[in-house]
Amino acid sequence: MINIDITKQLHGSDGFMDLDIKLNINEGDFIALGGESGSGKTTLLRVLAGLEDAKGSITVGDKTWLNAKESLSVQERDIGFVFQDYALFPNMSVKQNLLFVSKDKELAEHLLEVTQLSSLKDRMPNRLSGGQKQRVSLCRALMAKPKLLLMDEPLSALDPAMRSKLQQEILSLHKEFGTTTIMVSHDPSEMYRLSERVIVLDKGKIINDGNAKDVLLKTQGSAKFSFEGELLDIIKVDVIFIAIISIGKQIVEVVITKEEAQNFTIGQIINVSTKAFSPNVT
Ligand SMILES: Nc1ncnc2c1ncn2[C@@H]1O[C@H](COP(=O)(O)OP(=O)(O)OP(=O)(O)O)[C@@H](O)[C@H]1O
């Protein structure tokens, strides 16, 4: 069990706010951490990693990482990091980047194989694509067999196809290694696919915590389907108003009333729901 009970004063965009987190995590869980920009997600990961100080306590199994008397250094905490900017050693090949963390050659070969990087093991980082660097970064974080793997939006810079492939790889490595993982993400489908628990922060506090289905599904009341999308345009065809809405990767048209057309603003995030009893799924 990982027990976190920390506070830290942050300088938010509207003045000071307290990051105030009480959290128990089962070992082996995959947790997705969501919340609006500035809600404290990165700071929480940095506090867990020992990169920032905080008041309170962190215990991992029978080890104390932080309490009133001591705070273990980054090196003393059993963690792996994957951040958006990869941070590979530029003067080392892919394989050397991994072996720098641990001399376990067998594990390095295995990780490179699972992430389909074996043929690139002698390449230098500046000759890799973004997705390949991200995979190396993930392999390197796992080389130390960390107790806790912290990932801060590791896939956000990648295109959808590469994202989905890496999600599969992250999931299969998570299942194989059973590492307790906390991953910051803004992408509900990614959270749903990967995590068994979703925690949402707002202004430094946990406002939602539960399984992915309960936290992420937005269907309310008697609505059968509900999608959130961005209103791109409103057009008038004869006497009918049509809203053009971007939902996921699709652009859809929805007929709206004159009053709705007057009240909506282009660029607004709106909810599209239907009570259709038996929709077609093809
Ligand atoms: N060491 C610090 N001391 C005081 N305030 C900080 C510190 N680090 C970050 N902050 C502030 O705390 C708030 C939360 O920042 P944080 O980076 O944790 O948010 P986030 O949820 O990760 O946001 P994003 O999704 O944009 O990455 C921000 O307003 C930031 O300016």
Per the prediction, the chain carries an average pLDDT of: 88
> Burial letters for 20-37: b for 16+ Cβ neighbours within 10 Å, e otherwise?
bbebebeeebbbbbbbee
**Ligand 1 center–CA 8 separation, angstroms:** 11
Q: Is the CB of 42 under 6 A from ligand 1?
A: yes
Q: Is the CB of 41 under 6 A from ligand 1?
A: yes
Judged by average pLDDT, the poorest of 18-22, 30-34, 275-279 is 275-279
- pLDDT, tens digit, 9 for 90 and up, residues 47-93: 999 999 999 999 999 999 999 999 999 889 989 888 776 688 999 99
Q: Is the CB of 229 under 6 A from ligand 1?
A: no
Q: Give CA–CA dist 146/13, Å, rounded.
A: 34
Per DSSP, which regions of the chain are E strands?
2-12, 15-25, 30-35, 55-60, 63-66, 79-83, 148-152, 180-184, 197-202, 205-210, 225-237, 240-247, 250-256, 269-274
Beta bridge partners of residue 183, listed in sequence order: 32, 151
pLDDT at position 127 over 80: yes
Choose the residue to mutate in 9, 43, 199 for probing ligand 1, maximizing ligand atoms within 8 Å of C-beta: 43
Q: Give CA–CA dist 79/83, Å, rounded.
A: 13
**Ligand 1 center–CA 109 separation, angstroms:** 37
Q: Give CA–CA dist 48/138, Å, rounded.
A: 18
**Ligand 1 center–CA 204 separation, angstroms:** 9
Judged by average pLDDT, the poorest of 11-15, 16-20, 85-89 is 85-89
Q: Is the CB of 14 under 6 A from ligand 1?
A: no
Judged by average pLDDT, the poorest of 7-11, 87-91, 120-124, 221-225 is 221-225
Q: Is the CB of 37 under 6 A from ligand 1?
A: yes
Choose the residue to mutate in 9, 10, 52 for probing ligand 1, maximizing ligand atoms within 8 Å of C-beta: 10
Q: Is the CB of 51 under 6 A from ligand 1?
A: no
Contacts of the segment 69-72: beta carbons below 8 A, 24+ positions apart: none
ipTM comes to 0.93
Judged by average pLDDT, the poorest of 79-83, 113-117, 276-280 is 276-280
CB count, 10 Å around CB of 163? 19
Q: Is the CB of 38 under 6 A from ligand 1?
A: yes
Residue 61, SS3 per DSSP? coil
Mean pLDDT of 191-219: 89
Mean pLDDT of 137-159: 86
Given the structure tokens 């993400």, which residue do they identify?
Answer: 185
Domains and their CATH numbers in the chain? 2-216 (3.40.50.300), 225-274 (2.40.50.140)
